[in-house]
Chains A and B, each alone.
Chain A
């Protein structure tokens, strides 16, 4: 089965290239894309079921025995993120209809979306720091192009600042790799984790800091967050939803993968706790003051990423497990909210919440389910995620971060209520200067538009119903992350390159 991680990685890449070659306006174009996405989801499910039992697939390219050469390691964390990525890819392809979004958006967007997923899947399964860098670049290049899909003034003017900040982050990442290689002579993650903990030195801590800064920029943490709310509203709605679900989480994933390095440099982990707490608070506050729907949700991503990073900075099994639970919950719920936001903005023809007219029906139910889950109201998945995180923070006796989390939680609820009050109940509070068209063309969308969103809501509710078993899975994932000997044993076991190993 060691071909599986490779197949999951190659499929979206080949799918992206295929979709570029075939005529984009053919009626079967979207069917083809949906088929690719379904196969990807199937493969990801197989991988997840394998990983859940503790099997870790190791594929060594060209049979170079680790730590030499590039390896793919599919453990629990990889499998979980690959599964969520495949699910979100399917939903996004499903939502992106030419009839609604125009042919050119679909034609340009779909191939790039698959290439983006290829990069993401590659990053999630890597066992090697330099390959992580390359995968990041694949993701970033695809994302730069995706952000230009609408070709609007807003996306054009937003392009340079976005690329520049990400380029700087990549430089920090590259420098970090260079320093670590110079100090330890390896970029294999298992090898690095073992050799870095042997004798800590200021130079090693500095290198880990560089990596942490790079990932923090990608995750949109304080103080380098302003590219995020400026970028996401500028692109086409479903693409922004995919970004909101996966892109910042790539930064969080990279920090999680670095957890063993963080244990060797506790001062970096401590910094992350504080950065997370401040992000959670500031993101929540900034969101409250926004009147543009997707900008508001963008600041919320900052706030929620703060939660996750705070959890992983604590580095206890419970806190890491809560972070992982939060990660899964947030990918589902945030993407749902962005899909709803897109639907609202399109129906009303404005991004401004104050100008939106009341919307009722299925969309309102989907929004409520996702918004309450995000705010952490029981019995939805966000409640269990927050509960786990608060408990871990309490156990670590980190009182100030605990207070920040609690306040940020109230802020989240407040801004969700703000969206509800302005966009779903009541009328436009600030009328448009021009008389609005009496009936916008997409006023009555068919119910099938909402089907993919219901799928996301159902998965998120299932996450709440099976919160117990899933929390156990998250705990096992956290143990696996910190179990250096096990990781090393699986990865560097003598013999051939590719193999299946078993970790608890």
Chain B
């Protein structure tokens, strides 16, 4: 069981890293979710791979039970990573509207190539563009 789990984590991490290094934001998002799944599996493994659901009744052999705490942790982490994936997809849409292409752009680290008036308007607060 441990070997299967190790291989699964290795596979997910390998695929995740490969995808994160891609130029397309969409691939990178997929890669990040795979990495999150790999981390979740590691957390599950930390709780022991017990054979039975952790319901204690009279005469249960506690050695066979899975530890419920890491499962609760993983549940939390799944919710968080789902939220982040959704947020990243929104970022993807905004980015591709701006650039007309799904690529990770060099962030604008300075205003060298930008219109002076546009920068000034942005800094004076103004009503930011939505969507």
Chain A residues engaging chain B, CB cutoff 8 angstroms: 100-105, 130, 134, 137, 141, 144, 149-154, 156-161, 163-164, 167-168, 170-171, 174-175, 177-179, 181-182, 187, 229-230, 234, 236-237, 291-292, 295, 345-346, 349-352, 432-434, 440-442
Contacts and interface: CB of A to CB of B under 8 A. Distances in A.
B127 A350 contact: no
Nearest to A237: B123
A178 B28 contact: no
Interface in B69-88: 69-70, 73, 76-77, 80, 83-84, 87-88
B47 A171 contact: no
Residue from B42, B46, B122 with most neighbouring chain A CB atoms (10 Å): B122
B128 interface: yes
Interface in B109-131: 109-111, 114, 116-117, 119-120, 122-130
B128 A150 contact: yes
B125 A230 contact: no
B66 interface: no
B120 A350 contact: yes
Given A351-B123, A433-B116, A161 B87 contact: no
Contacts of A153: 98, 108, 114
Contacts of B77: 174
B115 to A, nearest CB: 9
Given A350-B111, A434-B116, A144 B95 contact: no
Interface string B51-79: 00000000000000000011001001100
Chain B interface size band reads 35 or more
A160 B35 CA distance: 16
Contacts, number: 145
Nearest to B85: A167
A441 B124 contact: yes
A141 B105 CA distance: 22
B43 A174 contact: yes
Residue from B39, B123, B125, B126 with most neighbouring chain A CB atoms (10 Å): B125
Contact of B107 (A161, A175, A237, A442): A161
B108 A154 contact: yes
Nearest to B107: A158
A163 B91 contact: yes
Contact of B126 (A102, A144, A179, A351): A102
B29 to A, nearest CB: 9
Contacts of A103: 127
Contacts of B45: 178, 182
The 4 closest A-B pairs by CB, nearest first: A349-B120, A182-B46, A151-B128, A101-B125
Given A150-B128, A171-B36, A434-B116, A351 B46 contact: no
A300 B88 CA distance: 29
16 contacts: A100-B125, A102-B125, A104-B130, A144-B87, A151-B129, A154-B108, A160-B95, A161-B104, A181-B46, A181-B69, A230-B107, A295-B110, A349-B116, A351-B111, A432-B116, A440-B124
B111 A352 contact: yes
A157 B87 contact: no
B25 A175 contact: no
Contacts of B32: 164, 167-168
A295 B125 contact: no
Contacts of B83: 141
A341 to B, nearest CB: 11
B71 to A, nearest CB: 11
B9 to A, nearest CB: 10
B39 A156 contact: no
A494 B76 CA distance: 29
B84 A163 contact: yes
A345 B46 contact: no
A295 B108 CA distance: 12
Contacts of B117: 434
Interface string B85-97: 0011001101100
Contact of A141 (B87, B94, B125): B87
